[in-house]
Amino acid sequence: MDLLNYFYSFVAWVLSLGGLIEIPPPTLPTTTTTTTTSPASQVDNATRPNIIVIMADDVGWNDFGFHGSNEIPTPNIDALAYSGVILNRHYSLPTCTPSRASFLTGRHAIRMGLQGLPPNVAEPRGVPLRERLLPEYLKELGYVTRLLGKWHLGYYSDAHLPTSRGFDSFEGYYGGYIRYFDHTVTKNKHRGIDYHRDEAPDRIRPYKDDRYVTDFIATRAEEIIRAHPAERPLYLQLSHLAAHASEGAEPIEVQNLTEVDSEFGYVPEPNRRRYAGVIAALDESVGRVVAALAEARLLENSLIVLLSDNGAPTAIAPFKNHGSNYPLRGVMAFSFFFDRFYAFYRSIADAEKKTLTSDFYLSLSIFFFTISLREQQKATVWEGGVRVPALVYSPLIKKSSRVSQDLFHMTDWFPTLLSAASAGDVAARDSLQLDGIDQWPTLSGSSNDDDDDDGSETKRREALLVNIDEVIGPEAVIAQQYKLIRNVRRYKDYYGIDGNVYSPKEYDVEGVLNSPAALGIRTLAANDQLPKDGKIIQQLRTKARIADCRPKTSNYTDCEDYCLFDVIRDPCETTDLSRKYPEVSVSCLISYYFFEGSYWQPNDRIKIFFFLSRSSCI
């Protein structure tokens, strides 16, 4: 772009900020599916891998066993982790809708106006129809595409529903959460079922079932897998409610409280004990899915991704779920005032025996956003809010049983999964402005480079945008080992404790090796990638664990302006380096303020940020 174009862009930006002009959303060029010239079309559909995505909700760094905690056994998830690649520097966005939108588009949520607060029940907002989602591209490659569980990407028109956005079928809930048993949500003092079985845009219907939702999703996944025709590849996304809190009388809902109290009796805090029950049910469902894939002989050509959409809201009502981001700093959090006023009104409601509805939550949040915008935080950009547990397993991975310290972002899954599916360069074909990077060559081992060789020509991610939010405030960017954050005023504490203090002292390696997931992996014989040696498993676990790096005092670094951290040496974000390395801070700020491209406000009005520098904070 020459200087004249820069000037025109700047003038348009200033005018748009003043409301003098509106810049219409860009439209992607119309695409056509080729069947003879595209390299992707020459691939036999039967050879394309089945892709299974298991996305947990609000699960913290310390809530799966493979990161070093003995508090909540997760043998099935751990078996996948040790058989595949543990992504130890995987970053999400601060909240659910932005993360899910970025996952399915390969683009930052700010490009779609989805930064900040997720859509409320029935709010007329969602992923813009100009965006094409991952399942739409996979369908072009012959995939059968199924979604179970959470959507939360807009449903205010038929065109925004999952079955209009590339999924052949959808069974789940449109909004952000439901109750675990009756699958309802409250709006305008009315409770209704938000669970649907949609088979096409013109065939949508609510579905009533009182089964525990985690088990129900697993059951439907088993049925889909068993009925799937082997000659076609399958894309199956399980977007679990677990471990999101619900609006029920007990926000942390378990299938059988007596059994949970018995199994996790060593956990002293009752709500944390219930949370352990939620995670245990999630882990069991993972084992059922892997076993079903093995039974249907689909596992040998499958790729399984398991991750959380963001960190755990460890300390903040109303959706506090008692997850743990230990030892990382910060939470996935609601506002400072919201926490306190929620407690006050909760006491009034309890005295009058009334239920606080989702309308109450939204109204109170908006009220305090109005009176003090800079004091509010829907989510944090500290490591505890955005550095999430993630793994990928597949017999197609040549170099498995390892811990990757490469940067990985939620936007990377779009090009990475399309690459694994041999889709060809869809970004070039459709002129897509992707933020994600294809990491399949390094994940699969097909790049033939040393995993620790920084000089490799393989394309690796060197930087990522954590968040830009022009309304709420907290923002961050990461480049190599450095992380710049700014406008962080609340929730800068360290929440939760090391559950190993009161948990079983020995890690149950045998439980991992004999889990349903492990038994399913063993059926692959020559492609059985699960280590049999307990020492190797312990070594992987140690490598994936972040040791306690919390400060010994409560005099924490203040980042109301901005801070610079080396998150390789200092993952707990204790030492601000901005004065020690001012040149790095300035470089980061340039990259940050002049982020390449444009972003959309929630009201779909564009703000232009023209590109000035490719600096990566070094």
Catalytic residues: 96, 152
Report residue 46 as tokens: 């039967």
For 185-222, give the DSSP string.
EEETTEEEE--EEESBTTB--B----S-HHHHHHHHHH
Q: What pairing do the DSSP bridges indicate for beta strands 85-87 and 402-404?
A: parallel
CB 476 within 8 A of CB 485: yes
3-state secondary structure of 323: coil
CB 414 within 8 A of CB 359: no
For 186, residues 6+ apart whose C-beta sits below 8 A from its C-beta are 247, 355, 357, 358, 359
3-state secondary structure of 476: strand
CB 170 within 8 A of CB 151: yes
Per-position b or e across 518-554, b if 16+ CB within 10 A of its CB: bbbbbebeebebbbeeeeebeebbeebbbeeebeeee
Cα-Cα-Cα-Cα dihedral of 484, 488, 493, 498, to 10°? -50
Residue whose tokens read 């709420």: 472
Dump strand ranges (E) for 92-228. 144-150, 169-173, 184-187, 190-193, 196-198
Of the candidates 325, 406, 272, 366, which has an alpha carbon nearest to the alpha carbon of residue 63? 325
Q: How far apart are CA 373 and CA 377, in angstroms?
A: 9
3-state secondary structure of 388: coil
